[in-house]
């Protein structure tokens, strides 16, 4: 199933397919977050606040408005 990261349920492992924003992609790639990499959502702040995602063994905070642009695929 393909869905934006912002819609992914907590603790479900998914794979990044595509980042639909050039500038965002540029910043994510620096953190090693690029298509093909596996990730999962760990924590969600209330009222559509930021998400913390576990990727490459590290937790990273991103805004849910940014997560909208990240397309992921689950099994």
Interacting residues with another protein (CB under 8 A) = 22-32, 34, 42-50, 52, 56-63, 66
Closer CB to another protein, 1 or 30, in the complex: 30
| Nearest-approach distance from CB 63 to another protein, in angstroms | 5
Going by C-alpha positions, the residue among 50, 72, 69, 68 that lies closest to residue 59 is 50
Residue 4 exposed, middle or buried by CB count within 10 Å (0-12, 13-18, 19+): middle
Shorter beta-carbon distance to another protein: residue 22 or 75: 22
The residue (of 1 and 55) whose beta carbon lies closer to another protein is: 55
d(CA 31, CA 36): 14
């Amino acid at each position: 199933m393909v869905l934006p990261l912002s819609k992914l349920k907590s603790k479900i492992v998914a794979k990044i397919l595509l980042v639909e924003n050039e500038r965002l992609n540029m910043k994510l790639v620096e953190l090693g977050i690029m298509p093909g990499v596996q990730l999962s959502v760990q924590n969600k702040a209330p009222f559509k606040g930021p998400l913390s995602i576990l990727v490459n063994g590290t937790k990273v905070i991103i805004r849910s408005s940014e997560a909208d642009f990240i397309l992921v695929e689950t099994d």
